[in-house]
Structure 1
Amino acid sequence: MNLNPLSDCEKGFVLEAASQKTRLDGRKRNDYRSLKIEFGLDWGSCLVSLGSTRVFAQVSCEIYQPNNSRPNEGVLQISAELVGDNKLADLTKINQVLERFYKDSKCIDLEALCIVAEEKVWKIKVDLSVLNMDGNTLGCCSISTLAALMHFRYPDVVSTGEKVIIFSSSERDPIPLSLHHYPVVTSFAIFEKNDFIILDPSFLEEKVCDSKLSICFNNHRELCGVDIEGCACLSQELLMNCSNQASIVAIALVDKIKSKIKDDLEKRFKKLMQGLEPKIADESDLKLPEKLEIIGPKNVEIEKEEIEEKMEVEQNVVKVAVDTTIATCRESIKKISVLKDSIPNDLVIIDTESSESTESDEDDVEVVKQYNLTDSRPVIGKYVVSDGEESDTIVLD
C-alpha cells in the first residue's frame, strides 16, 4: 500500500510516458487489469482483486426502525475503511460516491425490506475493507459492493401482528436481495496537456493525472452517476467517448460477477466450498519454516528434550556380520571376537558402564543384550566396528 508522496522524478517519468501515449505497466489506454472475484463461506462475503488493489466486502443485516420520511422502506448503508493504522488515505469520498450511486439509482428494492410499516424494516449494511490501494480504489470498491449484494441472502421473516418470527437457514432458505439493476463504476485518468485518457489508472497515474473521471453505468447501459475530480476541462465529445466505453465495461463486469455467483452456488449445492482462506494462502509468498527456532535464553528442560530428541533421530543401524569384532571405547576396551570356523547364533554386546572392574577379563563382563547376526540393531553409545586387526576402525556416534 503506497501512500507516500511522489518524488519529482516519478512524476516526470509518468508524464513523459503519457506524452508518448505509453503506460508504465505495458497496458494499452483501454486495457483493464486482471480481475479476481472470490466468495467466502458466509453469504455476502466477497474478496475482489483488481491488479494489486484488493477490497474485501461483507454484507450484514439487522432489524431497524425506518425513517419517518420513508416508513415503508428499508435502509442501505455503505461504509469503506482502510485496514491498518495509516490515516493518510481518506475514504470519505468513496463512501459518499458509492452511497450516491447505489441509493440514487434505486438499484435495490427497499420496499421489499419492510417487515412492519413504520415499525420494523431490514437495514442492509455493506462494510468495505480496503486491503491494498494501487489505483482505481473506487472501481474496485464498486465491484466488491455489487458482488456482495448479489451474493447476499437475508433470513425469512413472518409477522403475525403481535410478534415477528425470524426463521433460521435450517428452517427456511434465506432470501436474496431484490435488485432492479446492477450499477458498476468505471474510472478514467485524464492527462489534458497530452490529450491522453486511460482506463483503470494505477496509483502513479492517479497521482500525476490532471483529472479523474468516474462514470457509473448498469447492465442496461443506463447512466447512474458521474463524479469528476480535478481541474481538467472536459468537453462533450470526451464525456461521450468515456461514457460509451464505461457502458461496455459495465456489461462485461456484470456478466463476470453473475458467472462467479453461479459457480459459487453450484459449489454450495455440491458442498465443495472452501472459503477465502485457501485462496489467500495460495497467493501469499510468505511461508513459515518447518521448524521454528526459539530466540532467547533456553532453560535446562528444553535443552534436555532437544538432546534426547537428537539422539533418537541420529541413531545409526549397524548390520552385524561374520568376522566382525565389536568393542566399546570408553574407560577400557573389551572385545568379543566372532569365531571364523563356526557362526554363532547370537552375538553379545558389552555394556562398560555396568562393569565394576576396568581390567577384568571378557568372562567378567556383564551381558546386556543378545542380537542375532542377521538382525539390524540401533547403536546406543559409541562403538568401534572393524573387520580385523589390520582394517581401519570406524567410530559410530
Structure 2
Amino acid sequence: MVNKMNIVPEITRKSITHLINNQERVDGRALDEYREISLETGVISKAEGSARVKIGNTQIMVGTKPQIGEPFPDTPDVGVLMTNSELLPMASPSFEPGPPDERSVELSRVADRCIRESEMVDLKELCIIPGKKVWMVFIDLHILDYDGNLMDAAVLGAVAALKNTMIPEVKVVDNEIIIDHENMKPLPIREEVVMCTFAKIGEQLVIDPSLDEEEILSARLSIGITASDKICAMQKGGDSPLTKEEIMNAVKITEGKSKELMKYLE
C-alpha cells in the first residue's frame, strides 16, 4: 500500500536531483556537509544517563537505564546492551501509534549493532557473577522531530547518553550482591563511535540527507566508524545498488567527517 505522505511531486524530485547533479543542495549545503548539530547530556533527571541531539530539525531524546539481570546463555560473562526506539506521532505525520514499524525496528537494530560491534562499552567489565548476574543497559531512543537522517542522530545521541551514564558500585559477598548507591561510577567506555549516512540522488552521494532528500533517494548507506577509524557497521537501504567506487568514496568521506562528529562528544 502506497503511503500518500511519501509521494513526492515529480517537479520537486527533478528540481532537487538537478541541483545535486550540479553540486548544489536546496538548503545551500555542500554535498559532504552536515546540517547544524547540537548535543546536550544529562537532560532527563530521572534517567541514569541521557542526551538530546539535533541534526538540523531532526531531534532525538535518548535515555539509558542500567539494571542487574541475567546474561545470555552463550555469553555468560558479558553484560547486555539493548536498544529500542519510539517514533512519536508528533514527530512526523508519517509516524503512527501502535507497535514498532519497520523503520523503528531498523533504527534500533542499526544503532544497537553500531555500538555493540564498535566495542565502545567494555561489556566484560559489566559482569558481576559469571553465568548469573550482569549489568544490563537499556538504550531508549525517542524521536521528537523527524526531518531526515535518524541513523546518525540516534547513534550520536546514544553514545553521548552512554558516556553520561552512571552505575553504582557493587560487591559480591557469599554470592549475594550488595549495591552501593552512594558510590557511582561511569560505564567502562573504550572509545567513541559515530555513524555517517549518505543518500544517492541522481549521480551523486550526499551526506546527512534531509527529509526532502530522503524521499527521493535511490540508495542509502550508513557507515559506523570508531575514533580509531575502524569500520564497525554498515547498513544499505533503498532499491538501487551502489558501486564499489561509491562505497569506497563514502568510507573515505566518513573517515574525515567522523572527526567532526566526535568533537560533539568531548
TM-score, length of structure 2 as denominator length: 0.88
CA distance in 1, matches of 2:133, 2:220: 41
Match of 2:67 among 62, 65, 70: 62
- Report the number of matched residues: 251
CA distance in 2, matches of 1:221, 1:214: 15
CA distance in 1, matches of 2:64, 2:161: 6
User: 1:27: how far off?
Assistant: 0.7
For residue 311 of structure 1, what is the aligned residue in structure 2?
Answer: none
User: 1:251: how far off?
Assistant: 2.0
CA distance in 1, matches of 2:208, 2:248: 17
CA distance in 2, matches of 1:143, 1:129: 13
Q: CA RMSD in A?
A: 1.8
For residue 205 of structure 2, what is the aligned residue in structure 1?
Answer: 197
Question: One-letter code of the match for 2:62?
Answer: A
Question: One-letter code of the match for 1:83?
Answer: L
**DSSP-derived class of the 2:141 partner:** strand
1:180-259 to structure 2, matched below 5 A, reads 180-191=190-201, 194-258=202-266
For residue 71 of structure 1, what is the aligned residue in structure 2?
Answer: 76
**DSSP-derived class of the 2:233 partner:** strand
User: 1:195: how far off?
Assistant: 2.0
For residue 140 of structure 1, what is the aligned residue in structure 2?
Answer: 153
Question: One-letter code of the match for 2:58?
Answer: T
**DSSP-derived class of the 1:217 partner:** strand
Asked if 2 retains the 8 angstrom alpha-carbon contact of 1:54 and 1:140, the reply is yes
User: 1:77: how far off?
Assistant: 0.3
Match of 1:131 among 144, 155, 170: 144
- Percent identity (aligned): 26
**DSSP-derived class of the 1:242 partner:** helix
Match of 2:129 among 110, 116, 123: 116
**DSSP-derived class of the 2:209 partner:** coil
User: 1:84: how far off?
Assistant: 3.1
Asked if 2 retains the 8 angstrom alpha-carbon contact of 1:218 and 1:247, the reply is no
CA distance in 1, matches of 2:85, 2:75: 25
Unaligned ranges ≥5, structure 1: 259-397
Higher relative contact order (CA 8 A, sep 6+): 2
Structure showing the higher strand proportion among its residues: 2
Question: One-letter code of the match for 2:192?
Answer: Y
User: 1:187: how far off?
Assistant: 0.4
Asked if 2 retains the 8 angstrom alpha-carbon contact of 1:221 and 1:251, the reply is no
Question: One-letter code of the match for 2:10?
Answer: D
Runs of 4+ aligned residues of structure 1 deviating over 3 Å after TM superposition are none
Matched, 1:92 2:105: yes
User: 1:241: how far off?
Assistant: 1.7
Question: One-letter code of the match for 1:247?
Answer: E
CA distance in 1, matches of 2:15, 2:246: 25
Question: Structure 1 residues 250, 123: closer, same or farther in 2, change over 3 A?
Answer: same
Task: Show CA shifts across 1:355-374 (max 9, x none).
Answer: xxxxxxxxxxxxxxxxxxxx
For residue 11 of structure 1, what is the aligned residue in structure 2?
Answer: 13
Question: One-letter code of the match for 1:87?
Answer: E
Asked if 2 retains the 8 angstrom alpha-carbon contact of 1:216 and 1:224, the reply is yes
TM-score, length of structure 1 as denominator length: 0.60
Unaligned ranges ≥5, structure 2: none
Question: One-letter code of the match for 1:55?
Answer: I
CA distance in 2, matches of 1:59, 1:243: 30
CA distance in 2, matches of 1:182, 1:119: 29
User: 1:150: how far off?
Assistant: 1.0
CA distance in 2, matches of 1:13, 1:235: 24
Task: Show CA shifts across 1:331-374 (max 9, x none).
Answer: xxxxxxxxxxxxxxxxxxxxxxxxxxxxxxxxxxxxxxxxxxxx
User: 1:178: how far off?
Assistant: 1.3
For residue 384 of structure 1, what is the aligned residue in structure 2?
Answer: none
**DSSP-derived class of the 1:91 partner:** helix
**DSSP-derived class of the 1:135 partner:** coil
CA distance in 1, matches of 2:175, 2:113: 36
Larger Rg: 1
